A and B are shown apart, each in its own frame.
Chain A
Amino acid sequence: MSLLHLAIISPFLLGILVPILYKLLRRVHAGWFVLPLPIFLFIYFLSYIPITSNQQTVIKSIAWIPTLGIDFTVKVDGLGLLFALLITGIGSLVVLYSIYYLSKDKEQLNTFYVYLLLFMGAMLGVVLSENLIVLYTFWELTSFSSFLLIGYWYDREKSRYGAQKSMLITVFGGLSMLGGIILLYLMTGTFSISEIIQQSNEILTNPLFIPAMLCILLGAFTKSAQFPFHIWLPDAMEAPTPVSAYLHSATMVKAGLYLVARMSPIFAENGLWIWLVAGFGIVTLFWGSFSAVKQTDLKGILAFSTVSQLGMIMSLLGIGGAALHFDSINDSYFSVATVAAVFHLINHATFKGSLFMVAGIVDHETGTRDIRRLGGLMHFMPITFTIAIIGTFSMAGLPPFNGFLSKEMFFTAMVRVLEIDFFNLETWGVLFPIIAWVASIFTFVYSVILVFKTFTGKFQPEKLAKKPHEAPIGMLISPIILASLVIIIGFFPNLLSNTIIAPAVSAIMPNFKVDVHISFWHGFNTELFMTIGVILLGILLYKTFPKWRKVYRLFPEKFSLNRLYNSILADSQRASRTITNRYLTGFSRTYLLYLFAFFIIILATTLFVKDAFIIKTNNVSSIHISEAILALVISIGAISIIFAKSRLTSIILLGAVGYTVSIFFVLFRAPDLALTQLVIETISVALFLLCFYHLPKLKKREERMRFRITNAVISVGVGAIVTMIALSAHSNKLFDSIAQYYVDNTFEKAAGKNMVNVILVDFRGFDTMFEITVLAIAALGIFGMIKLRLEGGKKNENQ
């Protein structure tokens, strides 16, 4: 185990310690125990920057299931490191923020931090795993921890709904991704990502290639909330705000982007990949920004905004794939899209993280997140307002913030789509810059709504639950750090370009050299005019918003995706309940019927398929007349139990059968068995009679047992099968009995003369010991049933 493995596992280990520390030190906020870990990990991962910026990677491996080709291989390259830094960096800030956000007196902090650590470890595992099965395992763990965190306030109906929704959608995608991984394995024979990439040219024509691509994309799209799977993300906002900032904006939802970036070298040579990734991305970008405008909840706006920005990065990754396409002319011409994707990924984490924290502060200090009730908070919260201005302006793509730079690069990439000349992109590609531009206008509008509806306008104290005031400094530190990053990256983007962006891009596009240089001013080009157009039209639309608001009524709730999701969920629950009720009747008789029917079918099929049913009469022992009579007695006895009208008769008949069995034991040279059987049979009959005495007297009407044809058929079937097995087993001796060993050794090794007894107490002593244990358990159970009474049960009875 290397230090890298330990870094991934450390959050899980701390997760075990946190509840203990929480119980021991109730006075300290549990967040303080957690905070050092992400900070330490962040510094640890920073130390890898010199390695990855030299285009080198670090690989450490420990065997997990080597026979299946599954090793816990950890690989740090530019892309993985970028995500690892995001996870630990934003993680530290979020933990710090949560210490002030979540009250230590009211909340179950131990569970919160355990879930958060679970997520942190799982997410690090996703981005650093080199083996696809390991990646998948961690991937599902992130879905799982996201489920737990969304449902953190589990007493709220909406939290449970949101948690379930996110779980169903992301796990559905995760399973499909597993299918894709297995298809890749079938094609290449390995789970290692880098080995699959080496074979990417050979699998290109494989018939499984397209299905594998679709399956994996489904996993990525559901995780990264791409249209039409985005519906889980707005409902995930029921989670505490630090969680929204961390999982549902900065890290977990980007796992899908990570996967697409990671898989680009494998799939992007196929034009379909570019169409799907870029197409879904651009539609998501538009739909997210369009829907964000009509939201009235601050976190609702941010949720749809996240959906939209994820779509934007997704579309950039798709366009960037064109550079990997085998017949593209100028590779570096299109790689700008990938650079933009990576750059915007970082920028989005900074400004969106700070905006979520601002929304949390507003909620915390005023008691509401509804923009219709907010307004004029600028004077009460000047620092929060400043942070919000920086964050939203960056989001809207205004200079001099980092969002402006990546937005410009985004426009560049989209305009260059026009020059891609394969896979129909030359005709339909023109839609990309148009949709991108329109979506950017809506992005501008919701950004402006977000900040101005909250902080300017009329202050409405009567609609607020609390008197607003500035947040405590502890809560402000994290958003201030993020907002400063927005400005720093905005002014000095090249701090990142060769340290983080270039290594990440070269991990996505392994075969050519990437030179990243981000500059502020490109002259008066198309991109700049597009931005100016966005600003002008955006302001216009913001001013006239009440007039065109009606547009949203064109999309009735009835046909919404949420409605579809709800009805699918309700229908499938109803259908499975109907089916289950049909075969799970709740009567043991039904289940026994299934068991016996299965018994008959399986054994009969095996007997006939394997041709195992043989009768040989050459090796049988003689039948004495007394034995024949006993056989008749036992058969008649057993059959007459079925027809016995009274209980007493059936018990006596059972006793008769039992005693006959013991006579058989005598005849078959088994004296020990005969003795035991006699004793046990006597006790059993006594017990039966004892219970019979207590059981209800049957009325005559009830005693007539109805003859059931199914039961009869099944019983005859079971009897016939057992007879056939007995006959075949007798006729088909595959090897000699091992009895001779006992005959030879009973006296030598155990100094006993009764072989059966010696086997029981000596050779197979453990069997006997467990047999006694079973008896003891039965005795305890009987004692418990007779002597102990459940208090609760009694009380219910009295009522």
Chain B
Amino acid sequence: MEILMAFVIGILFMCATYLMLSKSLLRIIVGTGLLSHGAHLLILTMGSLKRGAVPLLGENASSYTDPIPQALILTAIVISFGVTAFFLVLAYRAYQELGTDNMDKMRGNKGND
């Protein structure tokens, strides 16, 4: 499973990078979203998958999955949401002010190059 996930993560990172290198602001934001999904899965995979029970003491299991990656990811999900929201509003405002979501056209001083 870990090996399969490694490839899935690789694909997520690849698509995210490609999207982030494009001109459209919206595609860049979608790219960052994909990137954070990839990163979350990467952290989880590194802590080994499916070993033991859900990390709840009430389960009374003999072993539990590693809770630390989960705690880290929980923080990361919330932060990436904050960043995405900020970024989206930024794109929206940039469009309102500049009339475009194309990164190349946003450079006010150079006009339409």
Name A residues whose Cβ lies closer than 8 Å to a Cβ of B: 586-589, 592-593, 596, 615, 617, 619-623, 627-628, 631, 634-635, 638-639, 641-642, 647, 650-651, 654, 657-658, 661, 664-665, 667-673, 676-677, 680, 683-684, 687-688, 691-692, 694-696, 702, 705, 708, 711-712, 714-716, 718-720, 722-723, 725-727, 729-730, 737-739, 742-743, 746-747, 753-756, 759-760, 764, 767-768, 771, 774-775, 778-779, 781-782, 785-786, 793
Contacts and interface: CB of A to CB of B under 8 A. Distances in A.
A691 B42 contact: no
B82 A755 contact: no
A771 B78 contact: yes
A711 B77 CA distance: 27
A747 B102 CA distance: 53
Interface in B52-91: 52-58, 64-68, 70-71, 73-75, 77-79, 81-86, 88-91
The 3 closest A-B pairs by CB, nearest first: A719-B14, A723-B10, A726-B6
Contact of B93 (A592, A623, A661, A786): A786
A661 B37 contact: yes
Given A687-B88, A768-B75, A638 B34 contact: yes
B31 to A, nearest CB: 8
Contact of B89 (A684, A743, A774, A786): A786
27 contacts: A586-B107, A617-B3, A622-B50, A631-B8, A642-B15, A650-B30, A654-B34, A661-B37, A665-B44, A669-B55, A671-B56, A673-B70, A680-B78, A680-B81, A683-B81, A718-B14, A722-B38, A726-B6, A730-B45, A730-B48, A737-B47, A747-B57, A754-B55, A755-B64, A756-B74, A775-B78, A775-B82
Q: How large is the interface on B (under 10, 10 to 19, 20 to 34, 35 or more residues)?
A: 35 or more
B15 A715 contact: yes
A712 B103 contact: no
Contacts of A588: 28, 103
A108 B81 CA distance: 51
Nearest to B107: A586
Given A671-B54, A767-B75, A774 B82 contact: yes
A764 B51 CA distance: 23
A771 B79 contact: yes
Nearest to A772: B78
Interface of B: 1-24, 26-30, 33-34, 37-38, 40-42, 44-58, 64-68, 70-71, 73-75, 77-79, 81-86, 88-93, 95-97, 99-104, 107, 110
A691 B88 contact: yes
Contact of B37 (A587, A596, A657, A768): A657
B50 A668 contact: yes
Nearest to A617: B3
A737 B97 CA distance: 50
Nearest to B18: A715
A641 B19 contact: yes
Contact of A589 (B4, B21, B41): B21
Contacts of B33: 654, 658, 684
A621 to B, nearest CB: 4
A687 B18 contact: no
* Interface of chain B: mostly helix, strand, loop or mixed: helix
Contacts of B78: 676, 680, 771, 775
A632 B91 CA distance: 31
A729 B95 CA distance: 42
A759 B68 contact: yes
Given A654-B33, A756-B71, A723 B95 contact: no
A782 B85 contact: yes
Nearest to A793: B97
B44 A670 contact: yes
Nearest to A776: B82
Contact of A764 (B19, B53, B71): B71
Contacts of B44: 664-665, 668, 670, 673
Contact of A691 (B14, B51, B66, B89): B89
A623 B1 contact: yes
Contacts of A673: 40, 44, 70, 73-74, 77
Contacts of B21: 589, 592-593, 596, 708, 711, 714-715
A712 B14 CA distance: 9
Nearest to A589: B21
Contacts of A596: 17, 21
A692 B101 CA distance: 11
A730 B33 CA distance: 24
Nearest to B26: A647
A638 B12 contact: yes
B70 A782 contact: no
Contacts of B57: 746-747, 753-755
Contact of A759 (B41, B50, B67): B67
B17 A714 contact: yes
B99 A621 contact: no
A657 B91 CA distance: 22
Contacts of A730: 2-3, 6, 45-46, 48
A622 B1 contact: yes
Contact of A627 (B1, B18, B84): B1
B41 A692 contact: no
Given A669-B65, A715-B14, A778 B86 contact: yes
Nearest to A655: B33
Contact of B56 (A683, A694, A753): A753
Q: Which of A627, A638, A687, A726 has the most CB of B within 10 A?
A: A726
A616 to B, nearest CB: 10
A676 B34 contact: no
